[in-house]
Structure 1
Amino acid sequence: MGLGRTHAVALSGVEGQLVQVEAHMAQGLPAMAMSGLPDAACSRAPNRVRAAAEGCGLSIPQRRWTINLTPAWLPKTGSGFDLGIAVAQLVASDLLPPRVAEGVVHIGELGLDGAVRPVAGVLPMVAAAAAGGRTAIIVPAANAAEAALVPGVTVYGVASLREAIDLHLSVHAGARPRAVPVPEPQDSGGGAPDLCDVVGQPEARAALEVAAAGRHHMLMVGTPGAGKTMLAERLPGLLPALDRSEALEVTAVHSVLGALEDRHSLVVRAPFVAPHHSASMAAVIGGGSARVRPGAVSQAHRGVLFLDETPEFRRDVLDGLRQPLESGEVVIARADRQTRLPARFQLVAAANPCPCGRAVGKGERCECTSLARRTYFNKLSGPLLDRIDVRVSLLPVTLAALGGPPGEPTSVVARRVLVARQAQRQRWADTGWTVNADVPGSLLRDSVWRLPRSVTTPLDRAMDRGELTLRGYDRCLRVAWTVADLAGADRPGREHLGQALALRTSSEVAA
């Protein structure tokens, strides 16, 4: 009897893999068998396909059907295989010419009336299809603009199974259907909050500029109302716009999560993600059983992850940040597979000085016992704090600061940050790194980039006294290079090293 073939895409995390869809029709009692590790939603596809075909005026023959999704060892999740299965069955039933469908990738969920409904994760699916050498993609009409963001592919959007059938028949007849045009990149970051709204806090503003220039992780400790959240929310506005490859990475994560605000354009500004302190490990780090979903750290990829009231987060969630802070990715291990999720984010943590939040100066107003304060900050483990480069304490805003002149706006500070970033990109062009925060410490300590002893004396003494670990030593070097970049210096001097050391040890939990 008949055999039909086409292609679809399976998602694992935010990475796609090309899947061949085979449909075989044989004589025998009507039956349906699917192979290829489909989940519950995928295994119900033949029932939806049969109803959708009838809604288009076609009939899938009542025969013995075998649907195979290759590679068979790869788990298939979701309803995005419906359109591919339908086309393969129509080819096997001689309702579609076989050659027109074999080289095309089909993505979409079918409704019982024949409608092709949108699915999440279309962008990484299309990118995987392009990487597999497939350039003709049929997707739901609602996902067409998103799919067209991938370069080098021809995207066709269909609203129903009938439209997909007509599209294949027209190609077989020699026609050239109109593809979805490639959308123009758009920058939707104009409504970001401005740094001039922050009252006072000159030290914290300077620390925020250093963190933005070198992509350093940051910790702010201060009383409620001091401006920690306002400063964190304004950090994305200081960061340079994402380049094309970074924008595709970020947009792919948001596509998988179904969080794209505008399907017609890439996410070109650094995202800002602020999970609630009650969030679970899977919500922050990522996870799942049948289908691994990205967490907040992946949603903040190439952007800012803000943890307000950091000591209120669960200890295991905070410790789960240690791996992605170093490697820039999350590895979710299961018994049968490992899933890697991108997580190169910039951490901004905020905390009160104590549980009551009223500790000022020597703590005259604080009602917390010393045991309560130690317990409060014990959730911030030493290994986690050691990975945070910039730490700053915020004092309450005074009346004098309220009546003083406003601080610099975001646009002015962002220009200095951009100049510093360009200096870093030029300096590390031959190494593959682009920002100081990513440069290995061993590179900064080798013969080419090593600073003179007369310059590193403050760090050497701090390390001899046990105040710095080797990781902390390297991170101070990175911050010093960033401070020098902001100052327009070619190499850090002793004053830059001193400022870097002060930024690392200035908060109340630095010890």
Structure 2
Amino acid sequence: MMTRLYSSTVLGVDGIEVEVEVDFRPMAEKRIFIVGLPDTAVKESGQRVDTAIQNSGLPFQQGIFVVNLAPADLRKQGPAFDLPIALGMIAGAAETEIDASSWCIMGELALDGAVRPVQGTLPQIMEARRMGRKRIMLPCANAHEGAPVQGVDIYPVSSLREAWQLLTSAALPAPFTNSGAEEQSDGEKEIAVDFDEIKGQSYARRAMEIAAAGGHNILLSGSPGSGKSMLAQRLPTILPPLSREEALETSKIHSACGLLKRGNGLVARRPFRAPHHTISDAGLMGGGANITPGEVSLAHNGVLFLDELPEFRRAALETLRQPLESGHVVISRASGTMTFPCRFMLAAAMNPCPCGYLGDRRRTCTCAPAQIARYRRKISGPLLDRFDLLMEVPAVDPSILASAPAGECSSSIRERVMAARRLQCSRYAGTPFRSNAALSGKALQRYCRLRPEGRDILLRAVEELSLSARAYDRILKVARTIADLEGNPEIQDSHLYEAVQYRAFEHSLRE
């Protein structure tokens, strides 16, 4: 007797439907064969499933079980096939006809029959909906991941016995609702840091506001303790909230990596990823034996912060150039090629020299000119061109720290940022662009037109600062954002002058 059920696996960050066929032949001995390109975890599921069925007290008999996971040319990974394989074996041994065509089933089994959580539930549920499976059976611990997906009914189970009763029941219970997940997500929106904790640094705060309003990449340079990391860590607090589409995109990646917090159906806030400078290329960009997303993809729709930028390996930094332009990263390995989304804001911080005190009023730099030049050459010109704003962050005078009042709070800044983003959303409706930073080609010429006087200002600045053509475009984008913050439909000369200021520092970095 043969039983057919449906499950799913994760390929990169996408779900792929897998058909689970279980054929049973009564014999005096028990043997289990699993075919269909299974990995080690799937091959071992036969022993887990056999023991779980016996310990659950479900009807069973000796025989030969052949389990086929289709499509046969797709490598199957992970323990999520335990539950559908077990249900298929029980149905075959009990000679019970079941109609599982509307179900997508996933879950790992413990030896006592308990159903354990699995990774990548959200993309698998989205794939099941696309394939027309209206009912999802999954572990109780993963129920919150399926709650945001509309058009499917979620049925969490805690044991193999409960799963069998659910599959064979004539009347199904009410599906899982997402009320608890929403409450948890609302709690996640509480923010632990705020811009009002930063005293002084008015110019740097202004640069961060412009970066947030236009989705621009920003580089901060200053001596140790000047507040570079504080500024970057608070950048997500002034960004607009995630739209539902963005939340699903982001949650899909985090679910595939097993990073969704228990009880949260969706990622509630824009991601902020801050990898250490010792990170490997695979950790930053993605890869590994089973190709998984890296930090650039985990920062999708959020912020990737690289502190101590020159301390990162130059090869790793250079790999960022293509993803910053395209918004996706392509990972090619012997096992295959994966494409992961990675639209993020890049915020980076660095010292002006190896000792960190070049230009500091209180401490003297001890670095030789050759050391400083070698330190700055770790950041290539093409990578510098990917930053829209380059900002010097001077050390704050201790008297300001002691007596200055609290700065403007994040919520006030975020209101202005959101107003500017709404203008951009309206302006770019019907186009693939979401923010000023994404503009390119003809769209840049169309939406960032300059008067003759403004063009002369920009050309003169590019010539005097020896800037590249890419830097020319980025000044235009920043000027467009400054105009949006003022609600001005035209780019004025004052907007250009301010935008040029955020490139002046680049000349000293290239020396």
State the TM bucket, normalised to the shorter chain: over 0.9
- Measured after TM superposition, the shift of residue 202 of structure 1 is 0.9
For the pair 1:373 / 2:369, whether they are aligned, the reply is no
- Measured after TM superposition, the shift of residue 452 of structure 1 is 2.6
- Counterpart Cα distance in 1 of 2:222 and 2:465: 26
- Cα distance change of structure 1 residues 449 and 223 upon mapping to structure 2, 3 Å threshold: closer
- Measured after TM superposition, the shift of residue 462 of structure 1 is 4.0
Aligned runs of 1:354-433 on 2, under 5 Å?
354-360=353-359, 365-402=364-401, 403-433=403-433
**8 Å Cα contact 1:50/1:59 also seen in 2:** no
For the pair 1:489 / 2:488, whether they are aligned, the reply is yes
For the pair 1:325 / 2:324, whether they are aligned, the reply is yes
Aligned length in residues: 504
- Measured after TM superposition, the shift of residue 248 of structure 1 is 1.0
**8 Å Cα contact 1:96/1:165 also seen in 2:** no
- Measured after TM superposition, the shift of residue 417 of structure 1 is 0.5
- Cα distance change of structure 1 residues 317 and 6 upon mapping to structure 2, 3 Å threshold: same
Aligned to 1:55: 55
**8 Å Cα contact 1:456/1:494 also seen in 2:** no
Aligned runs of 1:38-117 on 2, under 5 Å?
38-58=38-58, 60-99=60-99, 101-117=100-116
- Cα distance change of structure 1 residues 491 and 60 upon mapping to structure 2, 3 Å threshold: farther
**8 Å Cα contact 2:59/2:93 also seen in 1:** no
- Counterpart Cα distance in 2 of 1:449 and 1:437: 12
Specify the SS of the correspondent of 1:418: helix
Aligned to 2:240: 240
2:174 pairs with one of 166, 175, 178: 178
- Cα distance change of structure 1 residues 44 and 262 upon mapping to structure 2, 3 Å threshold: closer
Letter of the 1:128 counterpart: E
- Measured after TM superposition, the shift of residue 370 of structure 1 is 1.8
- Measured after TM superposition, the shift of residue 311 of structure 1 is 0.9
- Counterpart Cα distance in 2 of 1:238 and 1:510: 31
**8 Å Cα contact 1:23/1:88 also seen in 2:** yes
Letter of the 1:211 counterpart: A
Aligned runs of 1:258-277 on 2, under 5 Å?
258-277=258-277
Aligned to 2:252: 252
Aligned to 2:127: 128
- Counterpart Cα distance in 2 of 1:269 and 1:336: 34
Aligned to 2:231: 231
Letter of the 1:204 counterpart: A
Specify the SS of the correspondent of 2:387: coil
Normalising by structure 1, what TM-score?
0.94
Specify the SS of the correspondent of 2:422: helix
**8 Å Cα contact 1:140/1:157 also seen in 2:** yes
- Cα distance change of structure 1 residues 252 and 292 upon mapping to structure 2, 3 Å threshold: same
- Counterpart Cα distance in 1 of 2:204 and 2:478: 15
- Cα distance change of structure 1 residues 336 and 295 upon mapping to structure 2, 3 Å threshold: closer
Aligned to 1:350: 349
Provide Cα deviations, 1:178-214, integer angstroms capped at 9, x if missing partner. 2101236433222231111112111111000000000
Provide Cα deviations, 1:313-341, integer angstroms capped at 9, x if missing partner. 11122112112211111211123421122
Aligned to 2:475: 476
- Measured after TM superposition, the shift of residue 394 of structure 1 is 0.9
Specify the SS of the correspondent of 2:24: strand
Q: Identity over the aligned pairs, expressed in percent?
A: 43
Letter of the 2:349 counterpart: A
Q: Which moved more, 1:487-496 or 1:258-267?
A: 258-267
Aligned to 2:20: 21
Specify the SS of the correspondent of 2:155: strand
**8 Å Cα contact 2:3/2:23 also seen in 1:** yes
Aligned to 2:315: 316
**8 Å Cα contact 1:243/1:268 also seen in 2:** no
Letter of the 1:182 counterpart: N
- Counterpart Cα distance in 1 of 2:247 and 2:117: 22
Aligned to 1:222: 222
- Counterpart Cα distance in 2 of 1:164 and 1:31: 23
- Measured after TM superposition, the shift of residue 59 of structure 1 is 5.3
Specify the SS of the correspondent of 2:167: helix
**8 Å Cα contact 2:109/2:116 also seen in 1:** yes
Aligned runs of 1:429-440 on 2, under 5 Å?
429-440=429-440
- Cα distance change of structure 1 residues 132 and 235 upon mapping to structure 2, 3 Å threshold: same
* Alignment gaps of 5+ in structure 1: none
Aligned to 2:162: 163
- Measured after TM superposition, the shift of residue 60 of structure 1 is 4.6
- Counterpart Cα distance in 2 of 1:96 and 1:408: 68
- Measured after TM superposition, the shift of residue 260 of structure 1 is 2.0
**8 Å Cα contact 1:4/1:90 also seen in 2:** no
Aligned to 1:502: 501
- Counterpart Cα distance in 2 of 1:370 and 1:162: 73
**8 Å Cα contact 2:146/2:265 also seen in 1:** no
Specify the SS of the correspondent of 2:249: helix
- Counterpart Cα distance in 2 of 1:363 and 1:469: 35
- Counterpart Cα distance in 1 of 2:438 and 2:191: 29
**8 Å Cα contact 1:456/1:497 also seen in 2:** no
- Cα distance change of structure 1 residues 96 and 370 upon mapping to structure 2, 3 Å threshold: farther
Specify the SS of the correspondent of 2:429: coil
- Measured after TM superposition, the shift of residue 216 of structure 1 is 0.3
- Measured after TM superposition, the shift of residue 227 of structure 1 is 0.2
- Measured after TM superposition, the shift of residue 359 of structure 1 is 1.3
Aligned to 1:341: 340
Q: Which moved more, 1:342-351 or 1:371-380?
A: 371-380
**8 Å Cα contact 1:8/1:18 also seen in 2:** yes
Normalising by structure 2, what TM-score?
0.94
Provide Cα deviations, 1:366-424, integer angstroms capped at 9, x if missing partner. 11122222222222111111111011001111134322333211111111101001111
- Counterpart Cα distance in 2 of 1:307 and 1:47: 45
**8 Å Cα contact 2:166/2:172 also seen in 1:** no
**8 Å Cα contact 1:218/1:390 also seen in 2:** yes
- Cα distance change of structure 1 residues 205 and 466 upon mapping to structure 2, 3 Å threshold: closer
- Counterpart Cα distance in 2 of 1:262 and 1:420: 34
- Counterpart Cα distance in 1 of 2:117 and 2:317: 35
- Counterpart Cα distance in 2 of 1:263 and 1:293: 23
Q: Which moved more, 1:103-112 or 1:461-470?
A: 461-470
* Alignment gaps of 5+ in structure 2: none
